[in-house]
Structure 1
Amino acid sequence: MSRLIIKGPSRLEGSIKISGAKNAALAIISASLLAEGETVLENVPQIQDVMILSDILSSLGVDVCWMDEEILRLRVPEEIDHVATYYQVKRLRASNLLLGALLARKRVAEISLPGGCQIGSRPMDLHIKGLTQLGCQISIEHGYIKASRSRMRGARIYLDFPSVGATENIMIAAAVAEGQTILENVAKEPEIVDLASFLNALGAKIRGAGTDVIKITGVKRLQGTRYGIIPDRIEAGTFMVGAAITRGNILVENVIPTHIKPVSAKLQEAGVYIEENDLGIRVIGPETIKPIDVKTLPYPGFPTDMQSQMMALLALAEGTSMIMENVFENRLQLAHELKRMGAKIKVEGRTAVILGVEKLYGASVKALDLRAGAALVLAALAAEGQSEVHNLESIDRGYLNIERKLSHLGADIMRAD
């Protein structure tokens, strides 16, 4: 198993270009199954999750070709397979997005229950509820989701929780369903807006993405196009915290400031200097990190995907902070690894109370999930002495060349087997 060896403390300085958004790319690549002809996607990150999904599409019969590091070409033939096996999807949560796409394209789908990070309960019930209301028949048998349909007809669908995945899955299927679909209480994340923009570029008729209600008028055919994916707001936020925790000075490039307003606001509350300019966002870490309280919520609230990185930062704050995790209950398990580095954190249920310490110290720690792994890397950059971050595969799922980018900013970091 690969690991990162990090010698701290470091001060990160320089500029960094943010890669394309992982969660937008996964949804858009899945939705590409609906397009006739050739689809070319730009600003696609060659991270592990994207590569796994590309391999799954290849196994279904899709012609998948990387034209360069960030450009992916997809050609979907008339006949493709409809089965994604356990061995293909066990490492990828976003494989569930193939359900709506395959039902729309093939009228039948058989997909193993998805894998991914074990950060809490992420059931498929909302996905199934929505697709069923469109006219699909779905059952779960022997660890597989088995689905079929004759005709898909638009419906009025209310989500009990604004699930990102369920919103995306239903949106993809409804794009080619007969009549109008009205989705209520939907997710409003920027990745939802990006998926809607992509589907519209293919010829879909979708309005309201980014609000509580999305209206979709189904069309008969979608045509391939060329489309650029938005920057990754979570990678941007991670490097912003990197500047803060190392008391560094970073210019974060290729970022959409409105997408990370919740993160910027909390960092400013903690004493971090943030300035938006024509080149990106300048982030300068403070000498003293102020304690703050953080509560995760669906967008536009503070993102759960940034909670772990914020916990690492607040471990070095001057005073007591509190984090309340309202989305994924297992995200607070990071506290146990940070305590190995000297952090003082008490977890009760979905709440973590963090008593800031003067210093963290190098230790061997394990990335329990993608964002926890990124947080441990940030903590190691600020800690005294050498740290080893194990289970690097979790980090590679969502960050492209993280050690190369951090080295460019001045970190003493290397990958080892």
Structure 2
Amino acid sequence: MEKIIIEGNHPLKGEVSISGAKNSALPILSAALLAETPSRIKNIPCVKDVETMLKIISSLGAKVERKGDMVQINPTTLSNPFASYEFVSTMRASICLLGPLLTKKGRAKISLPGGCAIGPRPIDLHLKGLKKLGAKIEIEKGYIIAYGKLKGDNVDLKGPFGSSVLATANIMMAACLAEGKTTIFHSAQEPEIVDLANFLNKMGGKIKGAGERKIEIKGVKALKGTEYTIIPDRIEAITYAIAAIITKGEIEIKNIIPEHLTFPLKKLKQTGATLHLFPEKTRVGAQERPRPLHLTTAPYPGLPTDIQPMLTALLCLCEGKSVVKEAIYPHRFLYTGELQRMGANIIPRKASIIINGVKQLKGAKLMASDIRAGASLVLAGLSAKGETTISRIYHIDRGYERLTEKLSTLGAKIKREPEKTPPPVSTENSQDLKHYVKAILTRK
């Protein structure tokens, strides 16, 4: 168990290269199981969630080989369509194995997924979509059991908080080997969905409309392995952009696709930040306190919910009042209590917060509750006066490759050290979340 220690108030300067997109890597690695021959996938980030996915895939019988950022998946030995609680409980994205296993093997048994402590994220859209394709589904002793031969149909994935990225990915993968044509309505439009569709099409899939509100898939009899390079991680890119702004520095971000971040970059510019966009790199910085914003999260191409915590950290230092509304995961403000420990003036409301900006945050002892909340605390620590210590950083390691190392190359005074007194247990499920809340309440 480790912790991060930050000596704040040092402007960042230099250049940083963005790793491959975790949220592309996980479904694409799952999709490789659909093929009849091996696939070589490049630009795979070295993060805990990817490591977990590779362990699950290996446990299914497929052969996994990793060299640097390249992963080879050989599905020819796939024999066991059973993903156990041991791995699945720690990562929600493991649910995207359900569609590939079901359509490839005719049956699947997967533990109900875990994930970050940001409130309930039901899997009903996944199950609804697979049932529409003809799957029989049972929930038994914490496991999803699905079986049956899939046939194409019309699938509506409209949910109470918008479209679902993983549900769209799951149905799209399942439909590739289903009999006939499948049309997904209210599909997610995220770049990671387009990336997955491009990979599937390169394997021989027939998918049209990825990135739009309607996707059409014509089932094929078989898919062949291929070589593919996934897109850069847009969430990591915006994290470093905010790091430059919050420290009043200036950095160049390489291996970025600005078109994937049109709305967030527009919002950063509205704070007063300077941005210079080039085809595969962006220069970003700031010299003054940020201007306030009124933000509402929304499905792509709107403001991603995964960026909300990092923007909140930035707006804690704004000159005025900001309002942030969470329209995707209304309970995703647990981390703001940690920012308040640093002197942030945050007023919670139902599914929203009001932020009255302060001139300076102060270092404190903090705990990360999920991947993006952890990143938010790191950003706050970079700007704060004094020393900030962040525990439970395994959350951060789930989604960020070499975060402390990359920040150090930009001039941040940041390091990792062993945790002498291990913090309470994980927040990967509701029971552990109770321990997390208790730890906050009893901590000095």
Pairwise same-fold verdict (TM > 0.5): yes
Which stretch shows the higher mean deviation, 279-288 or 103-112? 279-288
Cα distance in 2 for partners of 1:79, 1:93 equals 22
1:270 CA displacement: 0.5
Percent identical pairs in the alignment equals: 47
2:253 is the counterpart of 1:244: no
Q: Secondary structure in 1 aligned to 2:299? A: coil
Find the counterpart in structure 1 of residue 66 from structure 2.
Answer: 66
Matched AA of 2:59: S
Structure 2: gaps (5+ residues): 419-444
Change (3 A) 1:219 1:254: same
Q: Deviations over 1:345-396 (max 9, x none)?
A: 0011111000000100000001111100000000000000000011000000
Which of 139, 156, 159 does residue 157 from structure 2 map onto?
A: 159
Asked if 1:130 corresponds to 2:93, the answer is no
Correspondence 1:9 to 2:16: no
Aligned counterparts, 1:73-112, within 5 A? 73-112=72-111
Aligned to 2:314: 313
CA-CA distance at 1:286 after TM superposition: 3.1
Map 1:14-413 → 2, pairs under 5 A:
14-67=14-67, 69-149=68-148, 151-161=149-159, 162-413=163-414
Aligned residue type for 1:123 = P
Structure 2: distance between partners of 1:395 and 1:278: 28
Contact 1:6-1:414 at 8 Å conserved across structures: yes
SS in 2 for 1:305: coil
Q: Does the 8 A contact of 2:138 with 2:145 survive in 1?
A: yes
Q: Give me the whole-angstrom Cα distance separating, in 2, the residues matched to 1:355 and 1:132.
A: 47
For the aligned residue pairs, the C-alpha RMSD in angstroms reads: 0.8
Cα distance in 2 between the residues matched to 1:265 and 1:347: 26
Contact 2:85 2:112 in 1 (8 A): yes
Higher mean alpha-carbon deviation, 179-188 vs 283-292, is at: 283-292
- 1:415 aligns to what SS in structure 2? strand
Give the stretch that moved more between structures: 165-174 or 76-85.
76-85
State the aligned residue count.
415
Long gaps (5+) in structure 1: none
**Structure 2 CA distance for aligned equivalents of residues 207 and 278 of structure 1:** 26
* Distance change >3 Å, CA 362–CA 141, structure 1 → 2: same
In 2, the alpha carbon distance for the partners of 1:388 and 1:330 equals 25
CA drift of 1:329 comes to 1.7
Superposed displacement of residue 332, structure 1: 1.2
CA–CA distance in 1 between the matches of 2:310 and 2:21?
Answer: 17
Q: Given residue 353 of structure 2, which amino acid in structure 1 is its aligned partner? A: A
In structure 2, how many angstroms separate the alpha carbons of the residues matched to 1:379 and 1:146?
43
Return the letter of the residue paired with 1:7.
E
Contact kept in structure 2, 1:343 and 1:360, CA below 8 Å? yes
> CA separation in 1, counterparts of 2:324 and 2:27?
29
The amino acid across from 2:31 in the alignment is A
Instruction: Give CA deviations for 1:46-95 in whole Å, capped at 9, x if unaligned.
Output: 1000000000111111110112x211111012541011111121111011
- TM-aligned CA deviation for residue 278 of structure 1: 4.4
3-state DSSP class of the match of 1:140?
Answer: strand
Q: Structure 1 stretches (4+) deviating beyond 2 angstroms? A: none
> Quick one: distance in 1 between partners of 2:78 and 2:369?
39
Letter in 1 for 2:10: S
**Deviation at residue 262 of structure 1 after TM alignment:** 1.2
Alpha-carbon distance in structure 1 between the residues aligned to 2:156 and 2:89: 29
Quote how far apart the aligned CAs of 1:141 are: 0.8
Work out the CA distance in 2 between the residues paired with 1:315 and 1:272.
15
Scaled by the length of structure 1, the TM-score of the pair is 0.98
Distance 1:142 1:319 in 2: 51
TM-superposition CA deviations, 1:81-133 (whole Å, max 9, x none): 01111112111101100100100111110000001102122111110010011
SS of residue paired to 1:376: helix
**Cα–Cα, structure 1 residues 89 and 279, in superposed 2: closer, same or farther, change >3 Å?**
closer
Distance in 2 (alpha carbons) for counterparts of 1:154 and 1:43: 32
Could you list the per-position Cα deviations for residues 259-280 of structure 1 after superposition, in whole angstroms to 9, with x for gaps in the alignment? Answer: 0111101000100101112450
In the TM superposition, what is the alpha-carbon distance from 1:401 to its structure 2 partner?
Answer: 0.5
Distance 1:107 1:16 in 2: 44
- Contact 1:118 1:330 (8 Å CA) reproduced: no
Is the 1:121–1:329 Cα contact (8 Å) retained in structure 2? no
- Code of the residue aligned with 1:388 in structure 2: it is T
- Cα distance between partner residues in 1 of 2:172 and 2:401: 28
Moved more, 208-217 or 69-78: 69-78
Given that residues 330 and 352 in structure 2 are in contact (C-alpha distance below 8 angstroms), is that contact kept between their aligned partners in structure 1?
Answer: no
CA contact (8 A) 1:38 1:76 kept: yes
Are the aligned partners of 2:158 and 2:185 in contact in 1 as well (CA < 8 Å)?
Answer: no
Aligned equivalents of 1:38, 1:196: Cα separation in 2: 18
Indicate conservation of the 8 Å contact 2:62/2:77, yes or no.
no
